Structure 1
Amino acid sequence: MKQTRAAVVGIDGTGKTTVLRHLHERDDIAVIHAIRAHEDPRSPCADLSTALAGASAAADALGRVQLKVAVLYLQLCLYGPSERQAVGRSRFLLADRHPLIDPLVYLPLFGRIEAHPDPGGDVEAWWHRQDPDAARAVRDWLRTCSGSTDPWPLGTELLRLGTRPRREILDVLSRRFGVALPHGVLLFDLPVPEALRRTGERTRGSELHETAAFLSATRQRYDAVLTWLREIRPDITVYRVDCSRRSVAEVTDRVRGLLDVLAGYPTST
């Protein structure tokens, strides 16, 4: 069965996870959560993903960007195995974010956050903020993905990578993650004030990057990255999905129609 792969991207608060959950439940479309694999409790990576979410929250609490990007990398390292497992499960494979697209947006932006080179006692504090069992799982995964149990050098290396040209970032991460770009990208677009209102209503705490200035820069960065992607890979189709003042059902139907277009199926959308 031919499988069409698409990534749904956009700033926090646009409703990506909610819409993809509806598509999975309603149309049995295979979905991979690139950052939070535990959003699918059936994921074989769910327990590790939950542990990594705790590590990410600890990095937010400490405000150390090196720790934040190190955890982001560890989360994205789960994508390749999840994608390979999902091959053939459905004619569509949707990714909630993508390990080759979102780092092109976020790594350069995280690099603008003031990052003192000395971790001080924050690495040890980061470990202590995590549940002990979860911390052991994070430590093992960190060793698997980086060859070390110290997250600081990994975070520093990734921030340095974010200063390199986009093509170099893409090539490095393609090799490391062992994944390819999708056939299509759906950019969920939402004005920043509306996104902030939505993120403020979440039950989980605020993240390091959920500020008006950062979200505005991220929104602009998505435009620049996807424009560049269309230039170097004209075979990849990019759609913009307006999510402002639209219900989950409306956005879900819009995405479903675009998937049919992307796959070449007849549609009235």
Structure 2
Amino acid sequence: MGEMRVALVGIDGTGKTTVLRRLRERDSVRVVHAVRGHEDPDSPYAGLSAALAGASSAADEVGRVQLKVCVLYLQLCLFGPAERQAAADGRTVLADRHPLVDPLVYLPLFARAGRNTVPGTDVDAWWRRQDPDAARAVRDWLRTRTGDTDPWATGTEVLRWGTLPPHDLFETLARRFDVTLPDGVLLLDLPVSEALRRTRERARGGELHETAAFLSATRQRYDAVLDGLSRTHPDTAIRRLPCTGCSVDQLAAQVHDTVAAWSRASPA
């Protein structure tokens, strides 16, 4: 595969991380994880990413979307530097999710669920559920990115972005995360029932938003967002790959072949 930046997106359970791991091992592509950067062995931010993963799990346990979205924001802030580092050696870069695609899907949905704005004791409970050293790293990163250490205020502000018109939300995300759209976006598509079964089998357990209703709404949002991007950003290649009945090797081969075809068709 030639040099390209491509994002794999789709509802939880479609196998994005597993497919990308296979491609990295087999084809030596660079992989950047937008949310779980510590799953990249070359990530310079692995320690902070692992701390943020713990904070995300704590938000799931507390059950407050403001805290979940605050952590998501902090995780996505790591993507731009990681992508630029990965692209520096000229290899193809594949992203597990993308800060200019997935928030367009998720933030409007989260915003509808985040109407209760009173934190009560949940912020303190969230901090206590984290490892103390990891919590310090999260607090420092929150201060670096926002100038404050109030996760509820950050989560509330990010939820407000979800109420913006699509163009304004896109511009806000591009500015806040200092990223551009990739050359291509591949949507791994799977029926909600199968995706839900897979997510429930994960060793780390389910997340706050992993319900049938939410995954169904998310699947519909991906279609709407990608259709919108195809109209407003026609230079970004977009394709949907059905993954029902596909093995990891079969799906990895489809991703490989699609990216290779895009690379051959792109200007030199």
**TM-score, length basis structure 2:** 0.97
CA distance in 2, matches of 1:195, 1:218: 12
Mapped contact 1:58–1:130 kept (Cα < 8 A): yes
Mapped contact 2:16–2:188 kept (Cα < 8 A): yes
Tell me by how many angstroms 1:41 deviates: 2.8
Tell me which stretches of 4 or more aligned residues in structure 1 moved more than 3 Å: none
Mapping of residues 167-182 of structure 1, within 5 Å: 167-182=167-182
Tell me by how many angstroms 1:89 deviates: 2.8
Mapped contact 2:80–2:179 kept (Cα < 8 A): yes
Tell me by how many angstroms 1:90 deviates: 4.4
Mapping of residues 9-24 of structure 1, within 5 Å: 9-24=9-24
SS in 2 for 1:264: helix
Mapping of residues 161-200 of structure 1, within 5 Å: 161-200=161-200
Which residue of 1 is the match for residue 150 of structure 2?
150
SS in 1 for 2:238: strand
Which residue of 2 is the match for residue 127 of structure 1?
127
SS in 2 for 1:187: strand
Tell me by how many angstroms 1:99 deviates: 0.5
The one-character-per-residue Cα deviations of 1:206-261 (angstroms, maximum 9, x if unpaired) are 10100000000000000000000000011111011111111000000000000011
Which residue of 1 is the match for residue 56 of structure 2?
56
Aligned residues: 265
CA distance in 2, matches of 1:193, 1:205: 17
CA distance in 1, matches of 2:195, 2:89: 32
Change (3 A) 1:117 1:180: same
Runs of 5+ unmatched residues, structure 2: none
Tell me by how many angstroms 1:91 deviates: 2.9
Q: Aligned AA for 2:43?
A: S
Percent identity over paired residues: 64
CA distance in 2, matches of 1:215, 1:225: 15
1:67 to 2:62 alignment: no
Q: State which drifts further: 128-137 or 81-90.
A: 81-90
Tell me by how many angstroms 1:114 deviates: 4.6
CA distance in 1, matches of 2:54, 2:165: 31
CA distance in 2, matches of 1:8, 1:102: 10
CA distance in 1, matches of 2:187, 2:5: 14
Mapping of residues 1-269 of structure 1, within 5 Å: 3-264=3-264
Change (3 A) 1:210 1:263: same
SS in 2 for 1:111: helix
CA distance in 2, matches of 1:242, 1:90: 29
Mapped contact 1:66–1:156 kept (Cα < 8 A): yes
SS in 2 for 1:203: coil
Runs of 5+ unmatched residues, structure 1: none
CA distance in 1, matches of 2:41, 2:87: 18
Tell me by how many angstroms 1:88 deviates: 3.2
RMSD: 1.2
CA distance in 2, matches of 1:205, 1:47: 21
Mapped contact 1:28–1:90 kept (Cα < 8 A): no
Q: State which drifts further: 257-266 or 178-187.
A: 257-266
Q: Aligned AA for 1:47?
A: G
Tell me by how many angstroms 1:265 deviates: 6.1
The one-character-per-residue Cα deviations of 1:61-91 (angstroms, maximum 9, x if unpaired) are 1110000100000000000110111123343
**TM-score, length basis structure 1:** 0.96
Tell me by how many angstroms 1:43 deviates: 1.1
